[in-house]
Chain A
């Protein structure tokens, strides 16, 4: 964990309300699933930093994919090339990656895409299921659909692209058709994570989920972002955001 200065190289809208931020930034090496806290304001409004999953962190370039959700992300979207953004990171524990014969299934729901995409770009194998509201909310479609070694399956609530319905509907089909064992990584809304976790339990698949939580500090001191697990309270920012799905008491 380090506090470093980031300089905006690019900050472009890549889908409805979704932006891709590229920062020139000397952040230490990170793992897929780790995150950073960005200071979006110069003054006290908003007061706290905002947590963002690391999409890419290579060659002194930090990539953040974010959706405008409130005041903080709106300010971030106003950053122009050359502006400074203070970065604290890398934070948290990333996804655990180990060799195996299992078919890897990535589950991404809405704003849960960045850490999952980062992992898929790293592992270069498996099936990526992305669920969004409608087609215009899919960011970086050409980048996602051309991932080497990764098959993309889309689900949209309004049916404008891919299968009409939820990402978990697609997951049910996928696990039925895969021969051999499955390993699942997921990030998205709580309901999706719960359904994914239950599916994993049913088929005996190993499953990790990345949780989204409001955070004050992002590095473990305030204990504001705890989640209840089978082992007691755990800080999403420190022991997470990635947890074994079966440990989470949803």
Chain B
């Protein structure tokens, strides 16, 4: 049995379980709890060109089987990451995939260029950010805007490039195809779902930013459908993200078409869940005599 997955040329994950961006910070805290070398890969917190302060509090709200966050992409900026955080991550025997974002195409290009350094295996683009030059519409909501952005970043970096798709779009297949045509090596499917919470005693929104993004097991069925749709129209690997908390979720997402999965909110409630998910996935494969992850990817019986 082989749990390895080649998610992009030269990027081999020892198992299909990655940390999701935004819930793993830069790896230091989790490294106090378990050996990060056990992970299929590490995806670090989204980086911008300059440090970002993020949104006002409250920034998180618990929902039924999940949570809404409006952290606002607080991060230390790309330069501080490369200087202060990347050397630490180098000690672990697992690929480091760096998530990044911008508010204009030029910013994406500049961040990607600064991440073209040793110690980074691949880049993951967050395209759920407003494009300030185009009236604030998200890059990931229009196929031609997404195509343009991904093409420009593609020409800047030699690193394998993953595009993390927005879930709330007219047709995610159009977005997936646009990203693939622009040169993406893999697609992460998907991001948090726009959401909000209201306090009926004060008549006010709960979150300081008014709205946020829903994550956790609550969104798993939605993410499954998105992965299922995207897998059927592209020929690059799909990485599932959305509510994964157990090895059973992993198997389900693989069947829907994923080659790997990202675990986010579940690791906030249970930081050791990575280990049980990795071990459970391997045990499932062994029990069902499945020799490779590829034997599961997209093998949903209909």
A residues near B, CB below 8 A?
1-3, 39, 44-49, 86, 88, 213-217, 219-227, 232-233, 238
Contacts and interface: CB of A to CB of B under 8 A. Distances in A.
A221 B268 contact: yes
A216 B60 contact: yes
B62 A233 contact: no
B59 interface: yes
Interface of B: 22-25, 29-30, 32-33, 53-54, 57-60, 62-67, 69, 71, 74, 216-217, 245, 265, 267-272
Given A44-B64, A220-B25, A222-B71, 10 more contacts: A1-B33, A3-B272, A44-B216, A45-B64, A49-B269, A88-B271, A213-B57, A216-B69, A220-B29, A226-B74
20 contacts: A1-B29, A2-B33, A3-B271, A44-B64, A44-B245, A47-B217, A48-B268, A48-B269, A214-B60, A216-B62, A217-B23, A217-B271, A220-B25, A220-B29, A222-B22, A222-B69, A224-B58, A224-B59, A226-B54, A226-B57
Nearest to A220: B29
Contacts of A2: 33
Interface of B, secondary structure class, is loop
A215 B53 CA distance: 18
A3 B30 CA distance: 12
B33 A3 contact: yes
A227 B210 CA distance: 18
Which 4 pairs show the lowest CB-CB distances between chains A and B?
A: A224-B60, A44-B65, A217-B268, A221-B25
A44 B217 contact: yes
Contacts of B63: 47
Nearest to A213: B57
B62 A48 contact: yes
Contacts of B30: 221
B23 A221 contact: yes
A44 B246 CA distance: 12
A223 B216 contact: no
B248 to A, nearest CB: 14
Given A39-B270, A216-B60, A223-B54, A48 B67 contact: yes
A46 B69 CA distance: 16
B219 to A, nearest CB: 12
Given A219-B29, A224-B59, A47 B23 contact: no
A213 B65 CA distance: 21
A144 B57 CA distance: 34
Given A44-B65, A45-B65, A47-B65, A223 B269 contact: no
Nearest to B32: A1
A147 to B, nearest CB: 34
Given A44-B65, A214-B60, A219 B271 contact: yes
Contacts of A88: 271
Contacts of A39: 269-270
A205 to B, nearest CB: 28
Q: Most chain-A Cβ atoms within 10 A of its Cβ — which of B57, B216, B265?
A: B57
A238 B58 CA distance: 17
B57 A46 contact: no
Nearest to B53: A233
Nearest to A72: B62
Nearest to B58: A214
A174 to B, nearest CB: 32
Contacts of A3: 33, 270-272
Contacts of A226: 54, 57, 59, 74
A216 B22 CA distance: 13
A226 B58 CA distance: 9
A155 to B, nearest CB: 27
Contacts of A214: 58, 60
B54 A216 contact: no
Contacts of B33: 1-3, 219
Contacts of A46: 62
B269 A47 contact: yes
